[in-house]
Amino acid sequence: MKEVGEIFFISKKDAYYSCVIWGAVAVGLASIVESSLSTLNVPSLIILILVPILIVWLIWIWFTTGYRVENNTLIIEAGPFKQTIDIQEVRKIMRERSILSSGALSVDRLQIQYGKYKYFGISPKKECEFIKLLLSKNPEIQIDDSISKLYKL
């Protein structure tokens, strides 16, 4: 349930992650169909049990990945995964391109540096609005020059 003052930003979704997630779903569905048509044995039973769980997990991540700002906390959600960051600990926001796992469904993302040596990749669809909101809660956040020029911050 959303609380008063809570703002939710959905993740950008690019072609790379679309192909990876929906390709895996398609392969999973094909393997389920093939296993259900073949003679039931241990490998086909494993496919019939585990692959639907994997498909649900991927779809859950696809439709729920986003970033919630609640009071002074940034909550990063991706399916069953949740990471919280105190906005007062955010030191810097930089642009990055990466396919590494994080709370983003886009290769084009922001790197949030917080705490002493921690960082997390995110990809809010409304990037400028997201950055301005974080800056309103912590004006000490350093913004990468490329972001500052792009959004005139």
Give tens-digit pLDDT for 89-123. 999 999 999 888 788 999 999 999 999 999 999 99
**Residue 43 has what pLDDT?**
81
Q: What is the DSSP letter of 11?
A: B
User: Which residues of the chain carry a pLDDT beneath 70?
Assistant: 1-5
Q: Which residues contact 121 (CB under 8 A, 6 or more apart)?
A: 96, 98, 100, 102, 103, 104, 109, 110, 111, 112
Read off the amino acid at residue 27.
V
**Residue 3 has what pLDDT?**
47
- Global pTM value: 0.85
> Is 141:92 a contact under the CB 8 Å cutoff?
yes
